[in-house]
Amino acid sequence: MVCFKRLEENFQRLSTIGKQDGGGFTRLAFGDADWEARNVIIELMKTAGLTIRVDAFGNVIGRREGLYSEKPVVMLGSHIDTVPNGGNFDGVLGVLGAIEALQCLEEQQEQNEHPIEVVVFMAEESSRFGVATLGSKAFCGKLSPEKLVQYKDKDGISLGDAMQQRELNPANIRQAQYQGDIKAFLELHIEQGKVLETTKHQIGIVTGIAAPTRFKAIVTGQADHSGATPMNMRQDALTAAAEVILLVEQLARKVAHLGVVGTTGVIKAEPGAMNVIPGRVELGIDIRAIQLASKQWVVDELIAGIDKIKAQRSVEIEMTTLTDETPVELLEEMVEVLQDVCKQHPYPNMLMPSGAGHDAMHLASLAPTGIIFIPCQGGISHNPAESASMDDIVAGTEILLTAIRKIAKVDFSWKKQ
């Protein structure tokens, strides 16, 4: 059985790392707090009997050997980095839940046919370098050496520089690509939405993962005196940017029934003085969808609409694509496996899509992938108020443990020697 007290203590232990005055947590990728939390996780993995190795990007892999080491690996994982002033459950749940499940196997001296590995993916959040799921991209061979130079934080430190500060060689990034065979990948996660809580379901089985297209838009007009420049002679970058922001919302609303959302989460206006017409504005735009076609429609309409705004407002708008990812439909067979697992437990469950991206979306290109959701209070995430009940955490971990036993072929009659 999953140990309620041990899980609770492990969450409390991580809650002391990166704690902010406002109650949230800041563990930015490759930062000191991230590394401190990482060392705690390595310690917990060792306690659970796992053998540790670290790949060329810094992803931590804890392995529980199987009766047949040559068989494909059953893999579990998530991340422990956070957004600034975020919560202690996003990502952390999938790591601590996986370690707890393997700790249970160790205590019961159960043996598995297939090896089992728990992976802590580095830099899942986009908060530091502007791009999400970097660790799982590297793990799947999707992160090039050029990107290590291109991606920089607000202080101008490149991703490659940050790696070197942790004694990781950027020149070896290709070696981070996983070389073994994976039988299945499972990720336990908080929902980061309100559906489970509202419908009173304790477990969500994910059927597909939305993917983002993200842009940086630079609107360039003319900075002028706010009092001396007539309204009909202005090239106001901020009012043009406002039209772009509203256009993002309007387009997403038109196809919201198809699971599309659009957000402008970054606005930087220059020179930022009350008596100066803004001459330059930077926007960060995020468009997500479960279906590729509906997301592409919004992107195409946005670009066409921006051309009209440029002409009407006499401004320049430069669009740079930061990321353009493909939505992932999870294999029906894996969904059915998790449904069968849920039948062995009393927890109310439902099928649902994931509006947020996860490391699992990249692993799905390597192996059958499943995601298990539990509710989070108020649907709040990426926020100091992010919270999940220990009862739900235990429920999700029980589902994960049962799924591991089924997929890795754990036999109670085989005892570790």
Binding-site residue numbers are 79, 90, 125, 189, 214, 275, 288, 382
Question: Which residues does 406 contact at the CB level (< 8 Å), separation at least 6?
Answer: 337, 340, 341
H, E, C per residue of the chain: CCCHHHHHHHHHHHCCCCECCCCCECCCCCCHHHHHHHHHHHHHHHHCCCEEEECCCCCEEEEECCCCCCCCEEEEEECCCCCCCECCCCCHHHHHHHHHHHHHHHHCCEEECCCEEEEECCCCCCCCCCCCCHHHHHHCCCCCHHHHHHCECCCCCEHHHHHHHCCCCHHHHHHHCCCCCEEEEEEEEECCCCHHHHHCCCEEEEEEECEEEEEEEEEECCCCECCCCCHHHCCCHHHHHHHHHHHHHHHHHHCHHHCCEEEEEEEEEECCCCCECCCEEEEEEEEEECCHHHHHHHHHHHHHHHHHHHHHHCCEEEEEEEEECCCEECCHHHHHHHHHHHCCCCCCEEEEEECCCCCHHHHCCCCCEEEEEECCHHHCCCCCCCCCCHHHHHHHHHHHHHHHHHHCCEEEEEECC
Contact 107, 402 (CB under 8 A): no
C-alpha–C-alpha distance, residues 241 and 252, integer Å: 17
Contact 393, 94 (CB under 8 A): no
Q: Provide the annotated binding site for allantoate.
A: 214, 275, 288
C-alpha–C-alpha distance, residues 38 and 385, integer Å: 23
Q: Provide the annotated binding site for Zn(2+).
A: 79, 90, 125, 189, 382
